[in-house]
């Protein structure tokens, strides 16, 4: 491909494209302390997108935080494009001795990178562009989804019934979740972690699944995580919690839990401890709030069947699923032909400028961004100590989708 010379340094982006928002949000724009200002002012020479090192991604804000790492909004200093960068501390003997869960997260990050790079393009699934590493950390550089978590919009939604969505809106989002899950299942991947926090909205308001740290490729015999559960069990199927064999059906159970949550403000089984929640998922009957429609209750009874032999086999009964009355207002043809312009999302996120990350919780975006890429980052090029982790998508993929 002919190398197009572009003058799109970060400095240029901030000073020209975002001039209006810069004026009104002067205090919001935090320039990272470990980022050399001379780099900002220097006109970055053009470099093909498939030729990037960690320091080419400038941390802008924190978007989220998990037990072992943060997700940052970062900006490519050559093109000005924004990405979400998920970081994870590498194992050290010290951490390993103190915390065996960390080892599981490391294994999962490596698996997450493998799974994400095996997923073919789908509008409801986050894309990966790079997987990088330095001496201290792993970094997944993902498509930035600027509308924030569906959960954030759910807590902002308020009507007479509390923080809940209208049933038609729930049908809209759950149809997009189902499209993403079905795509994964066709590729032999079980998602395993469907919950509102992992559902983001893109700038148009369409739903995108992120966080594949718990996903599993069926046939991956090295995976021990079905017997070792970390994180919240609220949306997990009873067979996972019991340590039994399981497959794609666990995702349809979780979809039932998320539908219930969007309609009522909480998942169907709650409690004060993981053990209490787990016990209810395994043993208790579901109680539906009085205002759930008959269609919603019928669909949920089918998805939330504890007996896997009686649960809705959505993958093999896709037509029956789509034509369930709960989804009667969903335009499945537009979804299946990926003709998203025919769909009208219930919420269009307010995005003054994507760099402001205004749809992400202040709890995260107000965090200091030091601790991004290690200041003395020594990026291993070769040999790759975690063999096969590092990855770069093709120029055409990066240019097409970012």
Nearest of 246, 145, 157 to residue 200 by alpha carbon? 145
Task: Count residues near ligand ADE (CB under 6 A).
Answer: 11
Q: Which two tokens stand for residue 273?
A: 């401890």
CA-CA distance, 73 to 50, in Å (whole number)?
Answer: 19
Q: Which stretch binds ligand ADE (CB under 6 A): 143-151, 227-235, 340-348, 387-395?
A: 143-151
Q: Is 193 in the site for ligand ADE (CB under 6 A)?
A: no
Least distance in angstroms from the C-beta of 312 to ligand ADE: 29
**Candidates 140-148, 249-257, 347-355, 388-396; binding stretch for ligand ADE (CB under 6 A):** 140-148
64 binds ligand ADE (CB under 6 A): yes
* Residue 359 interacts with ligand ADE (CB under 6 A): yes or no: no
Written as one string, the DSSP assignment of 192-227 is ----GGGEEE-TTS-EEE---TT-EETT-TT--TTS
φ and ψ of 202, to 5 deg: -80, -175
Q: Which of 143, 193, 239, 251 binds ligand ADE (CB under 6 A)?
A: 143
Q: State the nearest-atom distance from the C-beta of 254 to ligand ADE, in Å.
A: 18
Quick one: which segment of 47-55, 141-149, 182-190, 386-394 binds ligand ADE (CB under 6 A)?
A: 141-149
367 in Cβ contact with 69 (< 8 Å)? no
The C-alpha angle 292, 294, 298, rounded to 5 degrees, equals 105
Q: Of these, 14, 119, 142, 259, which contacts ligand ADE (CB under 6 A)?
A: 142
Contacts of 77 (CB under 8 A, 6+ apart): 9, 10, 39, 44, 56, 57, 58
SS3 58: strand
Helix ranges, 77-149 (H): 93-98, 100-118
Phi (first) and psi of residue 270, to 5 degrees: -130, 165
- The correct pick among 176, 210, 254, 365 for binding ligand ADE (CB under 6 A) is 210
Q: How far is the CB of 283 from ligand ADE (least distance, A)?
A: 33
Interface residue with ligand ADE, options 57, 129, 144, 326 (CB under 6 A): 144
User: Token digits for 346?
Assistant: 């219930």
Told to check if 35 binds ligand ADE by CB under 6 A, we report no
Task: Determine, following the binding rule CB under 6 A, whether residue 145 of this chain makes contact with ligand ADE.
Answer: yes
Euclidean distance between the first and final Cα of the chain, in Å?
17
193 noted as active-site residue: yes
Q: Phi, psi at residue 138, to the nearest 5°?
A: -100, 150
Using CB under 6 A, which of the segments 92-100, 136-144, 248-256, 307-315 binds ligand ADE? Answer: 136-144
Q: Which of residues 62 and 335 has its CB atom nearest to ligand ADE in the complex?
A: 62
User: For residues 44 and 40, what is the distance between their CA atoms, to the nearest angstrom?
Assistant: 8
- Say what angle helices 167-186 and 249-264 make with each other, to 10 degrees: 160
Q: Measured from the CB atom, is 10 or 201 closer to ligand ADE?
A: 201
- Per CB under 6 A, does 63 bind ligand ADE? yes
> Does 147 participate in binding ligand ADE (rule CB under 6 A)?
no
Residue 80 beta carbon to ligand ADE: minimum distance, rounded to whole angstroms: 17
Which residues lie across from 57 on neighbouring strands? 76
Residue listed under structure tokens 């017997």: 227
Residue 210 CB, nearest approach to ligand ADE (Å): 4
Q: Which of 76, 134, 193, 353 is catalytic?
A: 193
Nearer to ligand ADE, 44 or 131 (CB): 131
Kindly tell me which residue out of 126, 177, 209, 255 binds ligand ADE, with binding defined by CB under 6 A: 126
Work out how close the CB of 126 gets to ligand ADE at its nearest, in angstroms, rounded to a whole number. Answer: 5
Binding footprint of ligand ADE on the chain (CB under 6 A): 63-64, 71, 84, 126, 142-145, 200, 210
Which residues participate in catalysis according to the annotation? 193
């Amino acid at each position: 491909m002919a190398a197009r010379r572009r003058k799109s340094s970060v400095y240029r982006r901030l000073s020209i494209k975002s001039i209006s928002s810069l004026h009104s949000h002067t205090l919001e724009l935090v320039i990272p302390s470990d980022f050399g200002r001379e780099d900002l002012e220097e006109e970055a020479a053009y470099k093909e997108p498939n030729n990037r090192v960690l320091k080419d991604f400038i941390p802008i804000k924190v978007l989220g935080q998990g037990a072992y790492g943060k997700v940052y909004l970062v900006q490519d200093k050559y093109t000005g494009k924004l990405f979400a960068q998920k970081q994870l501390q590498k194992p050290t003997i010290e951490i390993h001795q103190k915390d065996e869960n960390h080892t599981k997260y490391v294994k999962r990050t490596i698996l997450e990178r493998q799974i994400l790079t095996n997923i073919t393009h789908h509008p409801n699934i986050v894309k990966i562009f790079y997987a990088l590493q330095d001496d201290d950390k792993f970094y997944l550089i993902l498509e930035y989804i600027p509308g924030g978590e569906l959960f954030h919009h759910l807590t902002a939604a308020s009507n007479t019934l509390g923080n809940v969505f209208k049933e038609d809106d729930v049908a809209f989002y759950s149809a997009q979740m189902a499209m993403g899950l079905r795509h994964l299942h066709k590729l032999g991947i079980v998602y395993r972690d469907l919950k509102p926090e992992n559902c983001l909205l893109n700038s148009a308001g369409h739903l995108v699944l992120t966080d594949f740290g718990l996903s599993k490729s069926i046939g991956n015999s090295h995976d021990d995580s079905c017997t070792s559960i970390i994180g919240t069990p609220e949306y997990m199927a009873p067979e996972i919690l019991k340590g039994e064999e399981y497959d794609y059906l666990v995702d349809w159970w979780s979809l039932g839990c998320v539908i219930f949550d969007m309609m009522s403000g909480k998942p169907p089984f709650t409690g004060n401890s993981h053990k209490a929640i787990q016990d209810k998922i395994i043993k208790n009957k579901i109680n539906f709030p009085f205002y759930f429609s008959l269609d919603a209750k019928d669909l949920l009874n089918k998805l939330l069947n504890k007996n896997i032999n009686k649960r809705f086999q959505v993958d093999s009964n896709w037509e029956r699923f789509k034509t369930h009355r709960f989804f009667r207002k969903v335009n499945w043809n537009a979804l299946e032909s990926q003709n998203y312009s025919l769909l009208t999302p219930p919420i269009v996120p307010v995005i003054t400028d994507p760099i402001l990350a205004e749809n992400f919780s202040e709890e995260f975006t107000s965090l200091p961004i030091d601790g991004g890429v290690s200041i003395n980052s020594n990026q291993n090029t070769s040999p790759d100590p975690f063999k096969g982790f590092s990855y770069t998508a093709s120029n055409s993929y990066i240019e097409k989708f970012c």
